[in-house]
Amino acid sequence: MIIGIDLGTTNSLVAYYGDDGPHIIPNRLGGRLTPSVVSVEGEHIYVGDVAKERMLTHPEDSAAVFKRTMGTDAKYRLSGRLFRSEELSSFILRSLKEDAEAFLGEEITEAVISVPAYFNDARRKATKHAGELAGLKVERIISEPTAAAVAYGLYEMQDDAKVLVFDLGGGTFDVSILELSGTILEVRAVAGDNYLGGEDFTAVIEDMWYKKAEVDRDSLDEKTLRHVHKQAENCKLIIDKERMVGMKCLIGDEEKEVQIRLDEFEKNCEELLERIRIPVRKSLSDAKLKLSEIDKVVMVGGATRLPLVRRLVGKLFRSLPDTTVNPDEAIAVGAAIQAAMKERRESIREVILTDVCPFTLSTEVSIEREGGGFESGHVCPIIERNTVIPASRTETLYPLYDNQKSIRVKVLQGESRFAENNLNLGELEIPLPIKRKKEENSVDVTYTYDVNSILEVQVRVNLTGEVTKQILKGRDVDMTDEEIAARMEELAYLKIPPREQEKNKLLLVKGERLYEENFGEDRQVIEHYIRKFEQALNSQDPKRIDAAREEFREFLEEWDK
């Protein structure tokens, strides 16, 4: 059996798909949520509720919220030993695996694990590595909003719809826009913030308490800091109902109490609420949609229980969001359903889940300065973020100087216009024909990106026709080199430039014939339509090309009667 796991910032869950549908698996203490906390005592590693409780008394030997540093070089020192985020996460995953084995009565070796949609390849790869350290073969890394959409049964809806998934967890925030069309559930756009979640709202209350109590947090030890944090968390959960909460904290031998008012709390949360609005706007802009065009909003993630968050979403979309699925459990349930899809369960409706590139794939280039010379370190986007995958795009690049011996293609991931601010995925050094002018010595750089997060970089030297290829693996890739080669062969059709595809070529040839057969103003009209179609082809955007091709075809048929 393949299990589904929601590896969360604050809490983690495991689920399975049984004969009567998906179910959350209780942990060894009978709870449905396992706190994503690890505590070390000598050779003993504690996970979950025990670790969370121990964190209050032994904070220096405990760690939480480490999901935020997945895929980075951050290390945590616990009981004199250093741990990376994926190692700490592997302890959580192993605990969930053991709970599933005890509950189901069988060995578990495979899992579908969810990650924020806005995780880059390094973070996804670290998550997969954590699964492997826990003894799991990671069948798929699924984006949390896609898992949420599956949990809400959106793939079973009869009518086509555009759905926005609002996923605010303990430490990360994702917005995804999905479009259901028949049996295809397509991700149109993703946006988010890997450093925004329920923990930040807790931090607002902490800051208010320190200010009102006139306590310098830098003067407190780690144990006292954890005590204040726990009281702030408790205050956050009840403040909307109580309107004003007395928050007591023991500082040394003195108990300090201050009143935290709801209106003050909400005012201090304005900056966080604005940070929530930004990805919502960005996702709508990338999907080229208006708020009014969203048919349904679903909310998942524990932090969406906060009334001020639900009110914000209600005001933004002028309608009540769907919160019928337990926000803490929706992603684990979706991961379990996805696991059942991987197992091809007959009770699950066949559905095609498409995904997008969460970040732009580009290469480093130099640009000409106004006063002369070149400035390096800039980027040339090749596959833009939120491009539906699989996809293939080509850009033509030129050397900086005459007689240049080689050209370096650095493969980057990210949205910054400066290369150094993006993730470096790898690079290729391409020899060039010698003693040639720079204008003659171009190369075509083609990126082909697959749903398995396999990126093929192909560089063609146009003078010689020589082609260099490199495969860059990411995320949850367990495929062999032979399997990857076969998959890239399947995607070969994507690498044919849009202008050379037969259906497009036919219309261009027909347009050229009509141009030659006519004259005067008729020629100008025909040329206008040819240029319009060529601009669409140059964009390499399949949807734009399809629309432009249909318009051009209708024009040619009408003209050629």
Rounded average pLDDT per 10-residue block, the chain, 561 residues: 94 93 93 95 90 90 92 90 93 96 95 87 86 89 85 72 90 87 78 89 95 92 91 92 91 91 95 94 90 90 91 89 88 91 68 73 87 85 83 89 91 86 87 89 88 78 90 51 53 53 80 76 83 82 84 84 61
User: How far apart, in whole angstroms, are the C-alpha atoms of residue 115 and residue 338?
Assistant: 14
Domains of the chain: which residue ranges?
2-196+271-356, 361-492, 500-559
Helix pair angle (502-517, 521-539), 10° resolution: 160
- Comparing C-alpha atoms, which of 540, 532, 374 is closest to residue 447? 540
What 3 state SS string does 207-265 have? HHHHHHHCCCHHHCCHHHHHHHHHHHHHHHHHHHHHCEEEEEEEECCEEEEEEEEHHHH
pLDDT at 352: 63
DSSP states of 489-549: HHGGGGGS-GGGSHHHHHHHHHHHHHHHH--THHHHHHHHHHHHHHHHHHHT-HHHHHHHH
The type of residue at 379 is V
CB 2 within 8 A of CB 345: no
Is-contact 74 85, C-beta < 8 A? yes
342, two tokens: 């991987």
Q: Contact, 116 vs 93, CB < 8 A? A: no
CATH of 361-492, one of 3.40.50.10580, 3.50.30.30, 2.60.34.10, 3.20.20.220: 2.60.34.10
* Paired strand residues for 257: 248
Residue 128, judged by CB atoms within 10 A of its CB (0-12, 13-18, 19+), counts as buried
Query: Which residue type does 313 have?
Result: V
Q: Are 40 and 52 in contact (CB under 8 A)?
A: no
The pLDDT of residue 351 is 59
- pLDDT recorded at residue 476: 39
H or E segment to which residue 144 belongs: helix 144-151
State the architecture of 2-196+271-356 in CATH terms.
Answer: 2-Layer Sandwich (3.30)
Distances (CA, A) of 411 to 21, 374, 408: 43, 20, 10
Place of tokens 């830098």: 218
Q: If we measure between CA atoms, which residue out of 340, 426, 416, 357 comes closest to residue 392?
A: 357
pLDDT of residue 16: 95
φ, ψ dihedrals at 332, nearest 5°? -65, -40
Count of alpha carbons within 13 Å of 290, Cβ hemisphere only? 3
Distance CA 418, CA 421 (A): 6
pTM comes to: 0.68
Which single residue is written with the structure tokens 């993703």?
190
> Which of 196, 207, 208, 232 is CA-nearest to residue 304?
196
- Which of 288, 112, 273 is CA-nearest to residue 188? 288
Q: Across the strands, what pairs with 395? A: 445
